[in-house]
Every structure is written in C-alpha cells, then in structure tokens.
Amino acid sequence: MKKILAVTACPTGVAHTYMAAESLAKAAREKQVPMKVETRGAVGVENELSPEEIAEAHAIIVAADTDVLESRFAGKPVVKVPVAQAIKDPSGLIDEALNKQAAPAADYREQVEQSKAQRSASRTGAYKHLMTGVSNMLPLVVAGGLLIALSFVFGIEAFKEKGTLAAALMDIGGGAAFALMVPILAGFIAFSIAEKPGLAPGLVGGMLASKIGAGFLGGIIAGFLAGYVAKWLKDYIKLPRNLEGLKPILIIPLLATGITGLLMIYVIGEPVKTIMDGLTEWLKSLGSTNAVLLGGLLGLMMAFDMGGPVNKAAYTFSVGLLASDVYGPMAAVMAAGMTPPLGLWLATLLAPKKYTKEERDAGKAASVLGISFITEGAIPFAASDPFRVIPSIMVGSALTGALSMLFGATLRAPHGGIFVLPIPNAVSHLALYAAAIVAGTIVTAIVLNVLKKPVLK
C-alpha cells in the first residue's frame, strides 16, 4: 500500500501542531492508509521521520507555518499547505497525496544533490520566516518572564540586593533569557531564509540590535537582512568543487556577518532605535482612551483568524514589547486570545438547543483550550458557521482587550493562560484582569446566541 508521511508545525507549537497531526492520523485510519506524522511543537521534534522512511514514502504532506527542514523531501511529491488546512480538510490532503505521481527511491536519492540549490527558493513568504524566529524565541520569553515575576515574590526591588535569590532569579530571567530574545529571533529568521549559513550573521545582527537599543524591530530587520545576504552569497559565490566546503563554514559567515553588522551599526541601528524609543514612550504614556482603542484593536486581531497571520501579528508585536519593559499589550493579547473558546463554551451552556451534540461536546473541549490560552479551540465552531461565530468572538475579544488596557493590567509571561495567574506578580490588577476575561466571555456567548438559530431536528 502507498505510505504517506506528514509533518505538522505551527508558530507557537502548542495547538495547531497537534490538532493537525491528530486530524491527519484519524483520517488516515478511516481510509486505511499507512501514515506517520512528525510533529514539530514547543517540546521539540516528536515521531521524527527517518531518511529510510522518507525514501520509501509515496508522498509527503507538509502542513506547517514554520520551517520544517523541507530539503529532506527533495525529489519526493509534496503536498504543502498551511497547518490550519490539515485541521479543516485532512481527508482531502490525503487524497491529494495519494494521487501524486511517486518518484522512485533511486531517483529520490539522486535528486537530493541536484535540488540543494533550490532549497531556499521553495521557502517563500516573510510571514513564515518571521514565525520561525518567533517560535524559537518564545521559550526564552516564557522562562525569562516567569523567572522575573518570581524574583518579585521577595519584593519589587529585592533583586537589587546582590547575592540574594531574588537577584539570581533576575539575572537568569532578565540578564540571560531576555538578553537572548532578540538575537534568537533574528538568528532563526535568518536560518529560515538561508538555512545554516544564515544563523551566525542573524545571531550577531540580533545581538547588535539589542546592544544598540533597536529592540525587537531591529532584530526582525537584522534577521531578514542577514538571511537574504547569506542566501545571496550562497547562491552567487562559485568555488572549485574541492573548496566548496569553505563556503558554509568560513566565507558566508564571515562576509554575511560583516555586512550585516556594519549595516546595523552605521545605517540601520540608530534610526530603528529612535522608532522603538518613540513607540515605547508612546505606549507607556497612553491615556485611557488610546489605551482602550489599542486594546480593542489587539483583541479584534486575536479573534479574527484564531491563530492565523493576523492573530500572530498582534501576538508578535506584544511579545516583542516585553524586551522594552512594556507589559500592557501582552496582557490584553492573552486575555483576548482566551475569550473566543471560553465564550463558545458558555454559549453552548446557555442555549444548548441551538447547538448539535457534537458542538456541545466541542464546547467542553474549547473551555479547556480557552483557559490555556489556545485560541484555536474556536476553529471547529468558526469553520462550521463563520458568519455568526467570527463576528461574535471578535466583539467579545475586543471588549476584553479594551478592558484589560483600561484597567492597566500587565503580564510578564507571553503564554500559559490561567496557569500563570496564580504566580505572584506575573499579572498586575489580577481581579480586574479576570473580570475583563469574564466580561468578554459573556458578551461572546450572548452575541452568538442572539445570532444563532435553533438546530433543526
């Protein structure tokens, strides 16, 4: 029988990655098609595909929004889609993969070398490169933010006393983890663009952006600059075959790092620092009206596509600001991201006759995802009734985001849902913050139930 392999990956590696893998595996079992699914989530690579399995496979399904080392599949028929597509239509993807014309194993091995020059060309899209950087940066932000919050357990300024546990926690979280945020972001953006030759110049460009004060915006620019410089050098520098080994370990890192570094120091760094300083000061001095408007906008973005590009744009913006000690937008984004699944769960409880048994069961699962800050829990509802569900969750999330900013809530960890709320000082104005989430949840449920019609029996 034809064997299909698949890889799933989303930017945060928390929800879409595993939902897509489960959907594909379930559809394959129903079709009695042998399938192995590799997941590249927050905990790393699981169920990794071996070279032998790739060689023997009929086709590969790549359902990913980040880099998954697609060069491994050179010469094999590949069905490449966003990760959400594997959740919505796993059966269709398997059919498409089965209908692909298979490449013989011998041809596959021969074509690996021939396709090396085309690896980067198959990876298109600034969004994908950015999300690869963000997904690799997130563990540092989460660990660093929570360690900083834990240092405040001993007092807001206790870390200033050298030799204390509070000072050690601050050094680990702020001095180390947060210091690596921007370099890792830039390094893996460049890695996504140019593979290994882009990593060193990206890391150096990100470190320079951090030292100059250009912040996460400078890191993003440095990552793309380093990646495309390294890619250009890799494509256009031609050496005799016996010297080709010098390109990835000497020539490209040297030139790309030098070019990126000089541009960051003399051309890009200071203007971007000025922009970041202005943005930071503006955010810190927001009046109540502007804060409410910003929170509402971030809330709308979080609910609009439930983990898609618009959602991730709001999330990335807020995570990046943590390095500049701006914590309000992060609080608004997490609260607004929790609201859609929670609101849908509440809607099924308040008006069960308007939902099928399957939807009521899905509501129970959505509640768990919602408290965990996994907005994707709303996707099954939105897929079946987008014109009623999406406007409803956008209204609720906008309200939650606006209230969070109005109340002055701040959040030091970019993930975790209610599980970070009990940590002392992780969230400010905790009671009001919880009230904002509850308010958005209730509004989401009410609006949806007003729009919904009873299920026909």
- Strand 35-41 with 44-46, pairing: antiparallel
Query: How would you list the strands of the sheet with 35-41, edge to edge?
Result: 44-46, 35-41, 4-9, 59-64, 78-81
The DSSP line for 19-51 is HHHHHHHHHHHHHT--EEEEEEETTEEESPPPH
Residue 164, burial from CB neighbour count under 10 angstroms (0-12, 13-18, 19+): middle
> Which of the following is catalytic: 10, 33, 166, 189?
10
Residue that has been written with the tokens 């094999």 in this structure: 76
Catalytic residue list contains 140 = no
Q: How many CB atoms lie within 10 A of CB 87?
A: 23
Residue 256 CA to chain centroid, in angstroms? Answer: 27
C-alpha 60/C-alpha 64 separation (Å) is: 12
Residue 278, burial from CB neighbour count under 10 angstroms (0-12, 13-18, 19+): exposed
The CA dihedral of 311, 315, 317, 318, to the nearest 10 degrees, is 140
Q: Distance of CA 8 to CAs 82, 94, 275, 297, 314, Å?
A: 9, 14, 36, 30, 23
C-alpha 317/C-alpha 330 separation (Å) is: 9
Q: Which H or E element spans position 225?
A: helix 215-236
Non-local CB neighbours of 120 within 8 Å, separated by 6+ positions: 193, 194, 195, 231, 234, 235
Catalytic residue ranges: 10
